[in-house]
Amino acid sequence: MTGKNIPQEMNHDQVKSLLRFIDDTQDEAVKEELFGRLGRDCFYSRGLDFWIAGYRGDLEAFLDWVNVKKGSRYWERLEPAADGRTLVLTGKEVDGCACAFADCGDPPKSLCRHCCRRMQEELFGLLSGRKVEVRVTEAFLLGDKRCSTEIVLE
């Protein structure tokens, strides 16, 4: 070796511990900012923006993918609400959280409240071409059997 430092492999337990520390000690505004950024980065770093681009502007095709083709491993159904501007996403019953950062004892609840919410805001915002607000209605980490949301198209 030439004396250069070789970076060590990421320690996943250290990251999980840091996220739990932030969730336990910071106020809601800080948690929203940090975990929201984590959700946004999750969406883009996994290339979901390229995938959803194939459905952009074609909500019916995306609804078909979820409801008819059963293409999602996480979602049971996605349906328009009676108000005409809200989508109701019902998750499949699960026995654990899909997020690797939740694979620890006492996972941070901000993973649901902010991270997953923001990831879905990115997804449905790009899909619809509109600003959206996502409301978490059920979450495994919050004690529910599934993870479900309401997506309000503004």
Residue 75 domain flag: yes
Contact (Cβ atoms closer than 8 angstroms) between residue 102 and residue 93: no
Which residue range(s) make up the domain with 131?
12-153
Residue 47 domain flag: yes
Q: Is 127 exposed, middle or buried (0-12, 13-18, 19+ CB in 10 A)?
A: buried
pLDDT at 148 > cutoff 90: yes
pLDDT tens for residues 30-52? Answer: 999 999 999 999 999 999 999 99
- What pTM, to 2 d.p., does this model score? 0.92
pLDDT at 81 > cutoff 90: yes
Count the domains in the chain: 1
pLDDT tens for residues 115-126? Answer: 999 999 999 999
**Domain containing 64 — which CATH number?**
3.30.1380.20
**Residue 10, pLDDT score:** 83
